[in-house]
Chains A and B, each alone.
Chain A
Amino acid sequence: MRAPSILRTQAYRIVLVYVAVFAVSVTALIAFTYWNTKRALDAQTDQIIEAEITGLSEQYQQLGLRGLADVVISRSAHGGPGLYLLANQLKQPIVGNLDAWPASVTLPGNFVEFDYQRRIENQLDTRRARGRVFVLAGGFFLLVAQDVHERYQTEQLFTTTLPWTVGLVLLLGLGGGALMSRNMLARLDSINRTSTEIIAGDLSRRVPIGDAHDEFDALAENLNAMLDRIERLMKGVREVTDSVAHDLRTPLNRLRNRLEATLRHLDPASAETVEIEAAVAETDSLITTFNALLLIAEADAGVTRGEMTAIDLAPIAADMAELYAPLAEEKGVNLEISPSGITMIDGNRSLISQALANLVDNAIKYTPSGGKVTVSVSETPLGAELRVADTGPGIAALERARVVERFVRLEASRNSPGTGLGLSLVAAVARLHDARLLLEDNMPGLRAIIRFPRHAPRRG
């Protein structure tokens, strides 16, 4: 059996869905936490700034510009996270611990984030701050901010690592999924292999049961129990057909013996001889019908008889055409065999020949003088085809479908002896070969096709 690509298995598809859902959840969770944390931290910063602005504006009201400048100077000297800048109407700095008015800060009122530069141990450092502009009576601007550089860095780190985190989650998920589905596949594969072997005819095969006592083992146990029952049934069917065959052939044999013994002691010219000869012929047609019925019953029950080997359809068709050529010629029917190359299938030569004989026999029988019967073998992408096409009256489309589906009753109602089970037998032989019998319109006439599955390399 062809090992299925792991990417195309159901197990892997399930894993993919899980991984996708998991990745989305992880991302959403991280984003939510991030956003919430940022908001809480910002709120805290904003509160401090708000409080400072309130304090400073009170100072301004009580002490005027000079007083405010003094406070700003004293607070700026603190060296903490607080940033202050008092500027004139043109945003030119008066006092504060910011060297210049940050270009990105324009509108008063809202909280803004901006970059500023600070000298630490002679190193000019660009840092992040968050603050608010307050307009003092008299047109002076007061910028009060807090250094949020640590928070900003964490944030930056976070946004750069987030894709990597998600990627890692996906990678681990897919890898784990592949591992998990491979494990599951191995179990499924062993079940699959066993079923293939069973379909190929080895009913004694069983699904191996592991020692994990998991769902797979339970499935395997159930399958095996089912197989035990099927094997018992098949054996039963075989025994029944064998004993039916034996129990029916034995009395028929005695009947024939008796008739023949009587015949031997009769005057060949007497009327009784004719009667008894007719009775012998009836016995023979009985056994022919019975054999066909038995084969059909066996095919329906899936009991395969006869050894299946690798055989070439081309010589089988050629031999059959050769056997029937004189008969066709005598009837004025042109029997042709289309040349073909080697076309191997797994099959039983005797059964296929018998089926083909029935088709060719029928075709010649129903084709009027001057008509044509063509036997051909061809290889198709799906397997091999054996075709018998005639230019006779054919079978009406409606009836064709019925004929293929359920032969026995439809055909059995015909009263021309010997032909009743012909097509049913062909269909039975086809079923035994996992093949299909198709009846098509040959325009005019009937085209019967036995479509065989592709020849598999020898099974062990």
Chain B
Amino acid sequence: MRILVVEDDLEAQRYLVNGLKEAGHVVDDAADGETGLTLALSRPYDVAIIDRMLPKMDGLKLVAEMREHSNTTPVLFLSALSEVDDRVKGLKAGGDDYLTKPYAFVELLARIDALMRRRSPQTVKTRLQVGDLELDLLTRTAKRAGSAIDLQPREFRLLEYLMRHASQVVTRTMLLESVWEYHFDPQTNVIDVHISRLRAKIDKGFDTALLHTVRGAGYMIRARA
């Protein structure tokens, strides 16, 4: 995957680029907004990671310009600013996701992974399937190996999100943001409790577990270990 990194903090940029390369991505970098825009418009990228505050051209302006030129590359904003307002501003300017510094690298990887998959053309699905677990999005029902699983509405949304991102790491923050629409970190890890309840419903009594904990990162639903 080709990734564009626009970050003016050169040390942070170095770590970011190295980390992404180690994760198997091809990375181009820029240290200011203008260079970033030139790169973004001249080459195709699967995802762009852009700092909010950049010299020469502000991150918000850069993304707005990209969108102006019909460039639809998914954008993840990185920001060291206070969160409450800035996230909204970033998403309004055309960003697809928003991460506040300092961030966990696994969080960043999981999010760009999700952004890149989102980009690949998807037909509107009415059914999701992982192994013998099936989710019917129209009737809002779940089945595993043919037998119905009784889910609460929130559990259904949680499972739906995990299955839409099957075989990808999904972080706790991502779940909190997409399933509960909260953009803050509760002090206690409430998500873990929800996951273990869901796990009890879908994996209990089956030989193969589908819902896995990815150590230090989050969760993943996949058919084979």
Query: What residues of chain A have their CB less than 8 Å away from a CB belonging to chain B?
Result: 241-242, 245-246, 249-250, 252-258, 260-261, 264, 277, 280, 283-284, 287-288, 291, 294-295, 298, 305-307, 319, 322-324, 326-327, 330, 348, 350-351, 353-354, 357-358, 361, 364-365, 418-419, 422
Contacts and interface: CB of A to CB of B under 8 A. Distances in A.
A418 B193 contact: no
Given A326-B190, A361-B186, 11 more contacts: A242-B81, A246-B53, A250-B12, A261-B15, A264-B19, A288-B187, A307-B85, A323-B186, A326-B194, A350-B182, A419-B187
A254 B8 CA distance: 13
A325 B193 CA distance: 9
Contacts of A324: 190
Contact of A256 (B53, B102, B185): B102
Contacts of A252: 101-102
29 contacts: A241-B82, A242-B81, A242-B82, A245-B81, A246-B81, A249-B100, A249-B102, A250-B12, A253-B9, A253-B80, A254-B12, A256-B102, A256-B104, A257-B11, A257-B12, A257-B102, A261-B19, A264-B22, A287-B102, A294-B82, A305-B84, A306-B85, A323-B180, A323-B190, A326-B190, A327-B190, A354-B184, A357-B186, A361-B188
Contacts of A280: 104
A260 B105 contact: yes
Given A288-B185, A350-B84, A327 B193 contact: yes
Given A319-B180, A326-B194, A260 B82 contact: no
A27 to B, nearest CB: 67
B10 to A, nearest CB: 10
Given A327-B190, A330-B193, A357-B186, A261 B18 contact: yes
B183 interface: yes
Contact of B84 (A277, A287, A351): A351
B101 A249 contact: yes
B130 interface: no
Interface size bracket, B side: 35 or more
Given A250-B9, A322-B154, A283 B102 contact: yes
A350 B82 contact: no
Nearest to A324: B190
B81 to A, nearest CB: 6
A210 B194 CA distance: 63
